[in-house]
Amino acid sequence: MLDFAAIKKAARACEADMTKFLRDLVRIPGESCGEKETAARIVGEMKKVGFDEAGIDRMGNVIGYMGKGKTLIAFDGHIDTVGIGNRDNWKFDPYEGFETEKEIGGRGTSDQLGGPVAAVYGAKIMKDLGLLNDRYRVMVTGTVQEEDCDGLCWEYIIKEEKIRPEFVVITEPTNGNIYRGQRGRMEIRVEVKGVSCHGSAPERGDNAIYKMGEILAEVKALNGKLGNDPFLGRGTLAVSQIYFSSPSRCAVADMCAISIDRRLTWGETYRSALGEIAALPAVRKYRAKVTMYRYDRPSYTGVVYPIDCYFPTWVIPEDAKPVRAMVKAYEGMFGRPRVDKWTFSTNGVSIMGRNGIPCIGFGPGKEEQAHAPNEKTWKADLVRCAAVYAALPGIYTSGELEKAPAEISKSRRAVKPAGTGSPKKGAKTAKAAAPAKKTAVKKPAKKPAKKSGA
């Protein structure tokens, strides 16, 4: 049996080191495709605390290992952050941050630099307390480009590095809860054509913006008619961007396009979501083009790994082994946890959504701090997460969970619905629907692809 009291004591003893580590990371601006210095700092900490292996793959992801056992259990945390937005909305320097007795402030503290910090020290505790054994090996990642294109990093790790853990702990903020799923998402572009003419005689042309106005009204109404799921909630959509082309401000627009952020609940897929937009009367009337964006922005190492901007919904059953192991680890030290789901998106869209590797979520910080000014996290969260991370692998591989009922319920959420995998050749995407290219190292593009966002 694990000595939970010893694990809690060891985690509390790491609080000052974790705080310093997190504050160091905050001071390094590291937006998507600019994570080089952040990655180097994390590798340095891994080596300092005694990781058996610590390095950076060709895409720029940090990968560290502790232990030599058979079952590979991964702890994932992305190391890129969003920008700071309007600096006037911050009450303190977002890259200097602040520290009080209980809190740590700064960009990325909750979303989600605190997660990798707690995972690194969770692995340290395993080693320091002699918890590592021949049954498991721990992998801790610091993944890149998640804010741009969630899951891309793990597509590379799984398909190019050929690494496939038994399950993955996602260390995104969970408000102190354990999360077992999330809605998916996708990025849709709708484009309509017109004919330009001089603005003094608009009747001579065909105004694309007016056409889009009709489409926008129907898109807005569609938001209230989307699918619903008792656990994940409703599917949603929001128009996030609008573009146009026109010869001048004195001319009628000859093109107008919008971007749609589409959140997908259980049973909704990229095919169904594209079909709903394509079927709108105004879209059909004006023969608008409905497509899916494709991401191909180079990582900070120069690797380009193209992928369609489709991020599948995923859920694992509440009685799945990783869930039961996480609950048992938490209960051993902190009482009964709440098991719930994320509102936003995570790297689980690739790990579980595309590749079927179970994910379980538990991370320091709060969802509502993500992307917000005056972002902060809590020292107690770092301690709690490091302790639970340290206990989890031993519980999962001990055999004690096998004493539970052998017949695990066959939840519909254990199986991906049709169309949740990668779009096949022939799918409507913003670029020609060719299969994703193999890894290529290129110089940064002169005009980077538009950013995605979780």
SS3 track for 156-224: HHHHCCCCCCCEEEECCCCCCCEEEEECEEEEEEEEEECECCECCCHHHCECHHHHHHHHHHHHHHHHH
Lowest mean pLDDT among 80-84, 263-267, 326-330, 449-453: 449-453
Average pLDDT over residues 407-418: 37
Average pLDDT over residues 208-219: 98
pLDDT (tens digit per residue) in 271-327? 999 999 999 999 999 999 999 999 999 999 999 999 999 999 999 999 999 999 999
Q: What is the CATH number of domain 184-264+270-299+424-441?
A: 3.30.70.360
Average pLDDT over residues 136-151: 97
Lowest mean pLDDT among 67-76, 173-182, 337-346, 415-424: 415-424
Catalytic site residue from 146, 147, 187, 308: 146
Whether the predicted pLDDT of 220 surpasses 80: yes
Please determine whether the domains at 4-183+312-403 and 184-264+270-299+424-441 fall in the same fold group of CATH.
no
Whether the predicted pLDDT of 434 surpasses 60: no
Whether the predicted pLDDT of 444 surpasses 50: no
Whether the predicted pLDDT of 403 surpasses 90: no
How high is the pLDDT of residue 307? 97
How high is the pLDDT of residue 423? 57
Whether the predicted pLDDT of 406 surpasses 70: no
**Domains of the chain by residue range:** 4-183+312-403, 184-264+270-299+424-441
146 is catalytic: yes
Whether the predicted pLDDT of 410 surpasses 80: no
Q: Of 3.40.630.10, 3.30.1220.10, 3.40.50.300, 1.20.120.140, which CATH number belongs to 4-183+312-403?
A: 3.40.630.10
Q: Which residue's entry shows tokens 């969260």?
A: 381
Kindly state the percentage of the chain with pLDDT values over 90: 87
Q: Which helix (H) or strand (E) holds 233?
A: strand 233-234
Residue 66 sits at φ, ψ, to 5 deg, of: -135, 125
24 is catalytic: no
Give SS3 for 152: helix
Whether the predicted pLDDT of 407 surpasses 80: no
Residue 446's pLDDT band, with cuts at 50, 70 and 90, is very low
Residue 44 has which token pair?
């340095």
Residue 61 sits at φ, ψ, to 5 deg, of: -75, 140
Whether the predicted pLDDT of 330 surpasses 50: yes
Q: For residue 192, which amino acid is it?
A: V
Whether the predicted pLDDT of 435 surpasses 80: no
Residue 231's pLDDT band, with cuts at 50, 70 and 90, is very high
Whether the predicted pLDDT of 427 surpasses 50: no
**Which residues, other chains included, contact 50 with Cβ-Cβ below 8 Å and sequence gap of 6+?**
66, 124, 127
Catalytic site residue from 31, 80, 148, 375: 80
How high is the pLDDT of residue 453? 57
Alpha-carbon distance of 69 to 32, in angstroms, equals 33
Lowest mean pLDDT among 62-66, 68-72, 134-138, 422-426: 422-426
